[in-house]
Structure 1
């Protein structure tokens, strides 16, 4: 299925490239009817389309060029029909020269890629405040998710945040999945948890699995893993990080922290009813789930707060808006029944060293008594 989806995407992109090359040739007055041009056009299309099968930055650039080229074509079509009585005006001739140069899609793509690259190189702090009558005192919870360590972001960027986080003197540190992934080497995996193990808090650091941590997608495409489940668990626990996989734990006098198995591991993941069975409903219940799903089910079982990541806030514009449009929880603060949901954009991105939507972040949640 994974290969079929990628192949379908590559075919769609190839069709768009084939059209774009033809349109660009026409803009520059190149004869598009000859057999030689047809072969060159087809060769470029096949080569460029194949780049997308390896999930490359080149493929991302191609997608932006195609979409922007189509937008420019649409705008040009509107202008030609709406402003046909103003063709001799200076502003019309300026647009016509820009259009025929083909520079607009290239310039906008370069600006977006440049911004996205710079945006990936910084991690900001985002803060939320949650109040509840169940709380007898205040807590500071730090949420770190989706570091995808050793892949698309310079590791030093995360390392530099450790001292900053420790200076906050948090009560709980929560690592909410996809800390490492298929592209992480065994050495980088061990390094990631050694670094995160140096985080300091009152009640410790807790980890829940994401859909990438155990390199499930390497298995799906028949590539060997770089570390085993046992090596991953050992690296986590050796650094005094506690794994919560469909388990819950009491913290202090008035908190419960429940960590869920990732939804990618269904079957095998407990239901909300099974997970929260026996939990003291008088305590403030936090559910940590890598993917922002089943919040209504958690709310029905008494959960007060769900913390998630996974979405990267879309990462590549306008994916996040599409997620929201289809009813998914993409980024920020939501209310699902009696449960507050906070979805982080993650400390880095996935797949590409570029982020054109949202910011890389770690999250501080201030829990306060009402």
Structure 2
């Protein structure tokens, strides 16, 4: 991993100056974005989309990107997948073939592998937070994983659980059958074992199941100190609600959800989670995160928007890409842009951010903890 270049210039200005005026650019660099503004991923897709729009606006307001002495604005060309694989594929075809983008963002979760097939075949740099796509990292050249790689995420998750619940001795896993479970369940168990947890039980239930009482009754018999559940808000809320009724575990821990969402459901038990973001904008703990949270609220015109952590899945990477384009001196040669990106460490809202030689992001992650539904969330940042 090389870190010989520190992103600065317009990027620092963008962070410091907010929406300060800048000279108009002479041309545009088109970036594709596949949005989930409807369907099952909309709760995350909307803030991810709006955060991307905000990042582009800030970069352009701060002067855009300069390549060979010429100034360019960035233009976000958006197509919507509606959380459907076929529509995501059609959107990728249009953006790559018709619009001609060299850079692509969006398509959450299970949609990403569909998009990856098209982006990789065409030499398009694809930025994604999808664990399903990340499993293919060794077979790709132009995919950038915007969350830390699985070993880092697993290690941070288990480390966070140990730090937040230091007296917990055993953990039970309750997870929905899906691609993320297939990828992460075994390494997550190993990670928790490495932190001194005993695995009390593992229950995987069919996708679409709405009654978890049988699984949690079996878990209750093992008397775990901690119940681990995931990977998005619907199954977490279902598991937490049923756990309130069955009394299988006294505390809950999750992954890729926010404490705020669980609090809104009214649960009474201690809950913690790896929110899978470098900065928790729902409860910002740094000046940079507080500034971005306020700017985002003003940008979307909402006082209390949901799932702000999803903003961070792409936000800092627009600035990293802009710096890499300037360093490479090109936005058409994606091989040069990737190489430049591997040499940059950008000081973003999430702290120092870069990608390694396999195009995997590196940065620490925020965790949240609440004692009950009324407590103010505590934010804990865990570094690799």
- TM-score, normalised relative to structure 2: 0.32
The structure carrying a bigger strand percent of its residues is: 2
Computing the radius of gyration from Cα coordinates, the structure with the larger value is 1
